[in-house]
């Protein structure tokens, strides 16, 4: 059976009793494992002012990962454009691309990815204003990164003096907005199905494909869908290892911000009935079990969406468990 390529999404989770450095080195080790296993891409997220996530600056972490891997494409999943000036983003990614030609993806999102106070601190202006400027800033960024359709917006600005290649630009989203932007600009689109709040998957996919306008780089629509996964030797072990991630999602929704607790601590924690209901609601879009069970779910997701690729996310306490999960899925998928 021929299956679509698989990629991996990384948060650089900070574990209770560990440091940011531990989390970042764990992310690099997971990227190396994904590279060896045959995954196509390894993307890192952007989150700010969150004690449990060390991935605050995608291009910095990407540069370290690319320098420590051989083949795999390295990207942002994603850069939240309202947090940054487009010229700065263009320069950062042009540097990583110059160091690792043909291996860099620039995934772009519209949400701030943090609270309003932090978003304002990142930009020094109202985050509401920068979100409204997203379409204009996106076109400027594309012009700076070699898209001739938007070159006039860049004017005399040059992101890098002597480029031989440019990053591959993706639009990310968990709603129909991102799908329509990607379609209008002829760009690849990644739907964030791993988000607990994601809704309207099929509508977004239809809008993307039906509205796609071919571009020089992408004559056909190209869809990637994310999924939250965890594969272990047994379904019981998988559920046990998934415990810290479920607690972390609950904490994020209820205002608790702290490093990720261990599976043992998560299993021992007592929850109210309301907490249990909320964790169950937040577990939608997850594929947890044995490798065969996870792969069956992913096969169904590809059948449902017609995705050209899948990108696998997982909020796990131990990087070694994350790497084992990726290995089990890779083998069952046939990478």
Q: What is the pLDDT of residues 177-224, one digit of tens each?
A: 999 999 999 999 999 998 766 678 999 999 999 999 999 999 999 999
Cβ–Cβ under 8 Å, residues 191 and 221: no
Mean pLDDT, range 12-40, rounded to an integer = 96
Burial classification of residue 297, based on how many CB atoms lie within 10 Å of its CB (0-12 exposed, 13-18 middle, 19 or more buried): middle
Q: What is the mean pLDDT of residues 218-238?
A: 97
Above 70 in pLDDT, residue 112? no
Query: Is residue 69 in some structural domain?
Result: yes
Are 63 and 91 in contact by the 8 Å Cβ rule? The answer is: no
Given this model, what pLDDT does residue 12 score? 94
Residue 291 belongs to a domain: yes
Average pLDDT over every residue of 159-163: 94
Q: Please write the tens of the pLDDT for every residue from 40-89.
A: 999 999 988 888 889 999 999 999 999 999 999 999 998 999 888 999 99
Sign of the C-alpha dihedral computed for residues 104, 107, 108 and 113 taken in this order: negative
- Asked whether residue 224 is domain-assigned, the answer is yes
Question: Whole domain around residue 181: which residue ranges?
Answer: 6-233+286-333
Q: Does 258 reside within a domain?
A: no
Predicted pLDDT of residue 181: 96
The pLDDT of residue 282 is 65
Report the mean per-residue pLDDT for the chain: 91
- pLDDT higher than threshold 60 for residue 164: yes
Residue 274 covered by a domain? no
The answer to whether position 278 is within a domain reads no
Inside any domain, residue 117: yes
* Residue 30 neighbours by CB distance under 10 Å: 23
5 within 8 A of 38, measured Cβ to Cβ: no
Give 292-315 pLDDT, tens digit per residue. 999 999 999 999 999 999 999 998
Average pLDDT over residues 164-181: 95
Quote the pLDDT of residue 2.
80
- What per-residue confidence (pLDDT) applies to 127? 54
Look at residue 269 and tell me if it is in a domain.
no
Q: Give the domain CATH number at 193.
A: 3.20.20.30
Q: Is the pLDDT of residue 327 over 60?
A: yes
Q: How many domains does the chain have?
A: 1
Instruction: Label residue 278 by pLDDT band (50, 70, 90).
Output: confident
- Report residue 273's pLDDT band, with 50, 70 and 90 as the boundaries: confident
- Given this model, what pLDDT does residue 275 score? 75
């Amino acid at each position: 059976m021929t299956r679509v390529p698989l990629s991996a999404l990384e948060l650089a989770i900070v574990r209770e009793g560990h440091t940011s450095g531990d989390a970042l080195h764990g992310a690099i080790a997971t990227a190396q494992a994904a590279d060896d296993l045959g995954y196509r891409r390894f993307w890192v997220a952007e989150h700010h002012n969150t004690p449990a996530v060390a991935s605050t600056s995608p291009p910095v972490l990407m540069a370290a990962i690319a320098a420590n891997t051989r083949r795999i494409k390295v990207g942002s999943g994603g850069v939240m454009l309202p947090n940054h000036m487009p010229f700065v983003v263009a320069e950062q990614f042009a540097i990583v691309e110059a160091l690792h030609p043909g291996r860099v993806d620039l995934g772009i999102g519209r949400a701030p990815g943090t609270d309003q106070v932090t978003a304002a601190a990142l930009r020094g202006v109202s985050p509401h204003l920068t979100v409204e400027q997203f379409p204009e800033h996106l076109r400027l960024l594309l012009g700076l990164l070699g898209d001739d359709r938007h070159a006039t917006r860049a004017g005399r600005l040059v992101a890098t003096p002597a480029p031989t290649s440019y990053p591959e630009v993706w639009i990310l989203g968990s709603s129909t907005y991102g799908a329509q932007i990607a379609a209008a600009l002829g760009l690849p689109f990644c739907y964030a199905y791993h988000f607990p709040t994601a809704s309207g998957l099929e509508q977004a996919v239809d809008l993307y494909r039906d509205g796609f306008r071919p571009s020089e780089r992408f004559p056909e629509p190209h869809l990637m869908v994310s999924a939250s996964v965890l594969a272990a030797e047994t379904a019981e072990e998988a559920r046990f290892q998934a415990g810290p991630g479920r607690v972390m999602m609950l904490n994020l929704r209820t205002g608790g911000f702290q490093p990720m607790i261990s599976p043992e601590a998560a299993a021992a924690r007592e929850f109210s009935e309301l907490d249990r209901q909320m964790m169950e609601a937040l577990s939608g879009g997850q594929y947890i079990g044995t490798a065969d069970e996870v792969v069956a779910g992913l096969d169904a997701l590809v059948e449902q969406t017609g995705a050209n690729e899948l990108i696998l996310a997982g909020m796990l306490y131990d990087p070694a468990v994350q790497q084992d999960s990726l290995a089990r899925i890779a083998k069952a998928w046939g990478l």
